[in-house]
Every structure is written in structure tokens, then in C-alpha cells.
Amino acid sequence: MAKRFYLECPFDEKDMCKNIGGRWDMDERKWYVPAELDPDQFRRWWPADASESKTHLTIVSND
């Protein structure tokens, strides 16, 4: 089962997110950080409930 860190990226910033490596999840209709990338690059779009520490990121499981 893959785990994904979902982002809160507004539509008008989607190209910026995509350009740095973010990916779109068609089922969830949300952008996420691929496992091979550093989530800190996407801090701009972290959900409000995500911790400041990468070791405590909110990970959402994709069934």
C-alpha cells in the first residue's frame, strides 16, 4: 500500500507544484509529494495540520 503526503495546493499554483515534482492524484483530486522528493520543497502547500518536522508529517494512506 502506497503512502502519500497530500498538499493543499490552490488551482492557480498547480503549475508551480508540478514544476518542482508534485504529482496529481486523480482519485483524491489532490496534489501529493512523491516519495523520492523532499517534502520541505512543498512546505508552501503543507496542510494546516502538518507538523513543522518532516518526521511528523501527516501521511495519508492510499488504499
pTM of the model: 0.75
Which residues, given as ranges, of the chain have pLDDT below 70? 1-2, 51-63
Structural domains of the chain, count: 1
First-residue to last-residue Cα distance in the chain: 6
Dihedral through CA 27, CA 32, CA 44, CA 18, nearest 10?
A: -90
Provide the residue count of the chain: 63
Q: Facing residues of 62 across strands?
A: 2
Q: Which ranges of the chain does DSSP label H, i.e. alpha helix?
A: 14-19
Domain that holds residue 14: 2-62
CB atoms within 10 A of CB 17: 21
pLDDT of residue 49: 85
Q: Distance between CA atoms of 51 and 14, rounded to whole angstroms?
A: 22
